[in-house]
Amino acid sequence: MTNPLGKSSVHLNISGRVQGVYYRASMLQEAQRLGLTGWVMNRPDGSVEAVAEGWKAKIEELIAWCHQGPQGARIAGVEVQWQKPENSFFGFAIRRV
């Protein structure tokens, strides 16, 4: 769910060659640069999952970055699900399973 006048939130699933290529750490840096909060983590199936909250335009910049990723990544797909913001994150972090 998006709110053009306030915060938005998105749940992302990124597939392809996204583990072992510095994807999480690079996404952390990009999200921090954009002023977003949330988290990113590797999934057992080889994909990367993330939740990001902040201004919609900044989230859209992160989504665009996700389609490229860091050098060495090969993105097969980026699944985007807009959702209601939780407003419970402080900063952006790497989660571990």
Residues involved in catalysis: 24, 42
Token pair of 53, please? 């909250």
Helix (H) or strand (E) holding 66: helix 56-66
| Coil vs helix vs strand at 88 | coil
Q: How far apart are CA 62 and CA 13, in angstroms?
A: 13
